Amino acid sequence: GPKVLQIPSHQIIDMGQMVTLNCDPVSNHLYFYWYKQILGQQMEFLVNFYNGKVMEKSKLFKDQFSVERPDGSYFTLKIQPTALEDSAVYFCASRHRVNTEVFFGKGTRLTVV
């Protein structure tokens, strides 16, 4: 079936540095999402993105976070600067349009040290 690819699967970064998490969504999808899962907790919505704009963001989406999808390529989540509490698994997801199936990637485990 359709796949959302996330690169890399694991990234370790020093606190205060910048990190970019990359997501290759399903090719004809129009809505894109990032979710954050801290170890032992549920997956929580961060942001959704449509037509080049952030549609909705949660309180977890701090000012240090940004998303973009330049020229229809990767959908990226950038954190600058990183903090220890940003350590989590970040899941990317996409869907073709509202009320259709959401497809998830395998996640990127971010460890901030």
Which residues sit at the interface with another protein, rule CB under 8 A?
1, 3-4, 31, 33, 35, 41-45, 48, 50, 55-56, 91, 95, 98-99, 101-107
* Residues in CB range of 55: below 8 A, 6 or more apart: 31, 48, 49
Q: Which is nearer to another protein, 69 or 81 (CB)?
A: 69
Q: Which is nearer to another protein, 15 or 55 (CB)?
A: 55
Report the nearest approach of another protein to the CB of residue 113 (Å): 23
Quick check: 47 and 33 in contact, CB under 8 A? yes
Nearest to 11 by CA among 99, 100, 78: 78
Quick check: 41 and 100 in contact, CB under 8 A? no
Q: Which is nearer to another protein, 54 or 113 (CB)?
A: 54
Q: Which is nearer to another protein, 45 or 65 (CB)?
A: 45
Report the nearest approach of another protein to the CB of residue 4 (Å): 7
Peptide bond into 70 cis (omega under 30): no
Report the nearest approach of another protein to the CB of residue 3 (Å): 8
Report the nearest approach of another protein to the CB of residue 20 (Å): 20
Alpha carbon 6 to its chain centroid, in Å, reads 9
